[in-house]
Each structure stands twice: as C-alpha cells, then as structure tokens.
Amino acid sequence: MGAFKEKHLKKSDQIKPVTLAQLDEQSLYIFCWCNRCGHNAELPPAPLIDRLGPLFPVPELGVHMRCSHCSTQDVATRPAWPAYGGQIARHG
C-alpha cells in the first residue's frame, strides 16, 4: 500500500508555481518572510515584473530578496492570499 501512495506523490512536479503576472492580475501582493529574524513584508508585484519578467515563479523570488531588517538573503516568498493574512474565516 505504501508504494502505491508514493507513486501518486511524484505527480507534484506537474504543479505550476504561481507567477508574478498571476498575482498582478488578481491584485495580490507578495508576502516575504525572513527566515533569520522573522521580519515580514508585503510587496507589490509590478516592480518585480519589470525586473524579472511576468512569468517568474513567486516561490523563487526569495533568491532575489534581501531582508530590510537584518540584511540576510534567506527570505521566503509566497502570494499574500487574503485567507492567510489575518482574515481567516473562523469556524464558530
């Protein structure tokens, strides 16, 4: 049974990461999180589209980021979905 499950998990490489253009279309910002000091910020995608192109994958943006607080380049990035930004719907 275990082997069967692993086969299915290998499909994950077919999932396309969200691109800067997709964020811009939906008026979403990029949420950046510093892995060293925990500093976080939300950036608009437009200036990054100018720099890196509209098809640049959002999860790879961290490579080009630098924390404005501690200057490390160990920064994680993902779309700033409203559901993850403090407006999570509560159950009951």
What burial letters (b/e) apply to 27-64, b meaning 16+ CB within 10 Å? ebbbbbbbeeeeeebebebeebbeebeeebebeebbee
Among 24, 39, 40, 57, binds Zn ion (CB under 5 A): 39
Among 64, 69, 73, 82, binds Zn ion (CB under 5 A): 69
**Considering the rule CB under 5 A, would residue 34 count as an interface residue with Zn ion?**
yes
**Considering the rule CB under 5 A, would residue 65 count as an interface residue with Zn ion?**
no
Instruction: Give whichever of 19 and 32 is closer to Zn ion, judged by the CB atom.
Output: 32
Sign (positive or negative) of CA dihedral 6, 10, 19, 30? positive
**Considering the rule CB under 5 A, would residue 75 count as an interface residue with Zn ion?**
no
**Considering the rule CB under 5 A, would residue 58 count as an interface residue with Zn ion?**
no
**Considering the rule CB under 5 A, would residue 73 count as an interface residue with Zn ion?**
no
Where is 21: in which H helix or E strand?
helix 20-25
